[in-house]
Structure 1
Amino acid sequence: MARFDLPTGVHRVKRLTKTGIKFHFYGWRGGPKFWEGTERHPTAPEFFAALAAAIETPKPSDYMTPQMVDDFLSSAEMPKGERTRQDYRLWALRFAQAFKDDPARLFEEPESRGEVNEWRKQWAHSPRQYDYAGTVVTRILNWAWKDAGKLRAHYCGDFRKVYEADRAEIVWTPDHREKVYAVAPPWVSRILTAGCETGLRPADLVTLSRGQIEATSTGRRIRIRTNKRKRTAYIPVTPTMSALLDATADGQFLILTNPKGTPLAARAASDALRYWRNKAGLTPEALGYDLRLQDTRGTAATRLLNSGLSLGEIASFMGWSVRYAAAVIEHYARVSPDESDAILVKLAQAKGGAS
């Protein structure tokens, strides 16, 4: 055996984990996993001992569900966003564990749909998780069928959605924000302010830097290529956002950081705001709904309309329909005492221009 060759038949899969790159090794493609580690070419005696034990297992003729999931996780079909990739990996591995003894061709049978639904019932208490489990399974099986050619067909598509996400009426009002500002540390308050003034998603908020702030004839704007839609957005800097930028420490490149002054992850920013939101008494139980960092976008839509963006521009940037954008702005204006009737007049004019 050449120095860098794997033993004949061993299948290696590269994984990117939170702690770095790892390699998973299988006795054969579709066979049992017997080793994982950071070395691409393991030479430890324990590696060969584990391989010897693995190949004593009778080799099945079927392509097994865990291997299908493993191949999917290594494929180009995985979502691009890091947060979504983590979520897909979580649900894909749950699916692989539940059907670890089943060949992938099981899902070519009509009865498989009932088995998947039975598995999803574990999360029936959470419509959002129940739906997400079905979404990931469908995407894996679609890939195995249409792209990888491992299945002739499958019966697990078009699961009925039970979670209805219409968050047009969930916005951060001035009262909400003041309650958080009263208890949260400054670095968390800055996250909330930046979200409410820019409308950026968490993944874009945490990468916002001085290099993306540009001078204009009337003030400043943010020029940013958004993470999700891969489009360049131009966002007016509102007076409140201008004050936040001016208060950023000299030499600090990123606008938002953690208490140590180091970069934030999108999930960490969301989790921090959730923690201090609860400390401020704005729990889901108290409000009747779950107020999240993403919901700052409704507040921002109103700010951006006031700053001169058209309804169509706001909708395009937010990834909303014009109708939905108008509904969000109208609701915010009606529930926020700091907004005058002027914003409703401006909204009516914007609707007219968008029709």
Structure 2
Amino acid sequence: MVDDFLSSAHMPRGARTREDYRLWALRFAEAFKDDPAALFEEPESRKEVDDWRRAWAHSPKQHDYAGTVVTRILNWARDDARAIRAHHCDKLKRLYEVNRSDIVWSASHRDAVCAIAPAWVRRILIAACETGLRPGDLIRLTRAHIQTTPKGQRIQLRTNKRKQMATLPVTPEMAAIIADTPDDRMLILTNASGEPLTEHRISEGLRQWRDKAGLTEDALGYSLRLYDTRGTAATRLLNHGLTLKEIAQHMGWSLRTAANMIEKYARVSPDETDTILHKLTTAQRTGTRTKV
């Protein structure tokens, strides 16, 4: 059953995620290799899976990831492969909970990294802060996604995760990134050699230079990640004419979350506080829609 799942179209698309799924699927297969698939039709199987996951209780992330992979395999076996009639491993209890909504890249954070990082890393950080695109979308951004508008440029692409069309204004900072891309290169972001990036490499490259800039977890009291640029990007998009509703739709957030993220950025960026809060208040009060 596990082997069939690993070769099915229901495996995740991202290379890094596929590797992780394969690792945990094979661990699952090894642990239950002497049992028939029908075991998971029995209510008692839930406790057996939890007992197996307990081996990673010291690492809540691994414990929870094991459950995620098992549930996905069993859902596939029940719904698509018809290998089992039912299973009892839906909504397995999770140990790891995190709320990163208060973590954003401030202007000083970005400046600290850009002051020492090589050009390819600076381009990643600036593009992430200006667009809010996830790593999987940043690495496939090309010239074909850049369109000319009456007042400038915009980015339009279908996102990997939600399969929705994202339409974003090209800010002056992002325009500079696009303009500096060599004429013979389609990809906007690459590694130092001009080769395509992976989701792992784009995040790891920024992490390495973030630490060299002194923005470590020990120094800040929290870890800054590539994903945390989305709060910064939400502020940029508000400044360039998108409504709260448009920002929320692009980010996959509620309107309240989008407003909270922008307000948080204003608090950590005192040089922009008054302007941002005025625009946020206006957006919340009027809901005025500005065309890109």
Aligned counterpart in structure 1 of residue 106 of structure 2, from 169, 173, 182: 173
Provide TM-score, normalisation by structure 2.
0.92
Separation (CA, whole Å) in 1 of partners of 2:279 and 2:167: 21
Specify whether residues 107 and 354 from structure 1 end up closer, same or farther in structure 2 by C-alpha distance, changes over 3 A only: farther
Deviation at 1:81, TM superposition (A): 4.0
Equivalence for 1:195: 128
Structure 2 residue runs of 5 or longer lacking an equivalent are none
- The gaps in structure 1 that reach 5 residues or longer are 1-67
Distance of aligned partners of 1:98 and 1:278 in 2 relative to their CA distance in 1, 3 Å threshold: farther
Quick check: 1:174–1:338 contact (8 Å CA) kept in 2? Answer: no
Q: Which piece of structure 1 moves more, 302-311 or 125-134?
A: 125-134
Q: Distance in 1 between matches of 2:285 and 2:162?
A: 27
Which of 192, 208, 223 pairs up with 1:290? 223
- Select the structure of larger CA radius of gyration: 1
**1:86 aligned onto 2:16:** no
Correspondences of 1:237-256 after superposition (within 5 Å)? 237-256=170-189
Q: What CA distance in whole angstroms lies between the structure 1 residues aligned with 2:165 and 2:87?
A: 39
Separation in structure 2 between the aligned mates of residue 76 and residue 244 of structure 1, nearest angstrom: 36
Counterpart mapping for 1:102-121 below 5 A = 102-121=35-54
- Mapped to 2, the partners of 1:285 and 1:323 lie a distance apart of 30
Q: Of residues 154, 157, 160 in structure 2, which corresponds to 1:221?
A: 154
Counterpart residue number, 1:32: none
Could you say which residue in structure 1 is the equivalent of 2:201?
Answer: 268
Residue 84 of structure 2 is matched in structure 1 by 151
1:160-198 CA deviation, whole Å, 9 max, x = no partner? 222223221111111211221122111111100100001
Shift of 1:79: 3.1
2:214 paired residue number: 281
In the TM superposition, residue 126 of structure 1 has moved relative to its aligned partner by: 2.8
Q: Is 92-101 or 293-302 further displaced after alignment?
A: 92-101
Answer yes or no: is 1:320 the counterpart of 2:261.
no
CA distance in 2, matches of 1:216, 1:114: 58
Aligned to 2:144: 211
Q: Which amino acid aligns with 2:229?
A: T
TM-superposed deviation, 1:145: 2.2
Could you list the per-position Cα deviations for residues 35-88 of structure 1 after superposition, in whole angstroms to 9, with x for gaps in the alignment?
Answer: xxxxxxxxxxxxxxxxxxxxxxxxxxxxxxxxx111112223333444433332
- Cα contact 1:81–1:227 (8 A) shared by 2: no
Aligned length, in residue pairs: 288
- After superposition, the Cα gap between the structure-2 partners of 1:144 and 1:285, relative to the gap in structure 1 and judged at 3 Å, is same
Task: Give the 3 Å change call, closer, same or farther, for CA 120–288 of structure 1 in structure 2.
Answer: farther
Identical residues among aligned pairs (%): 64
State the alpha-carbon separation in 2 of the partners of residues 163 and 334 from structure 1: 28
Q: Verify: 1:236 aligned to 2:169, yes or no.
A: yes
Q: Does 1:332 align with 2:265?
A: yes
Greater CA deviation, 222-231 or 145-154? Answer: 145-154
Cα distance in 2 between the residues matched to 1:102 and 1:354 = 58
Show the counterpart of 1:19.
none
SS at match of 2:155: strand
Report how far residue 99 of structure 1 moved: 1.9
Cα separation, 2, equivalents of 1:338 and 1:86? 43
Q: Once structures 1 and 2 are overlaid, which stretch shifts more, 206-215 or 79-88?
A: 79-88
How far apart are 1:153 and its partner, in Å? 2.4
Contact 1:171 1:295 in 2 (8 A): yes
1:104-150 deviation per Cα after TM superposition (whole angstroms, max 9, x unaligned): 22222333222211221232233232222111111211222233222
Which moved further from structure 2: 215-224 or 185-194?
215-224
Q: State the one-letter code of the partner of 2:77.
A: A
Q: Which has the higher contact order (CA 8 A, sep 6+)?
A: 2
Task: Tell me the SS of whatever aligns to 1:183.
Answer: coil
1:308 corresponds in structure 2 to 241
TM-score (norm 1): 0.76
Please tell me the residue identity of whatever aligns with 1:113: R
RMSD: 1.9
What is the CA deviation profile of residues 180-220 of structure 1, one whole-angstrom value per residue up to 9, with x for unaligned ones? 11221111111001000011111111111222212211111
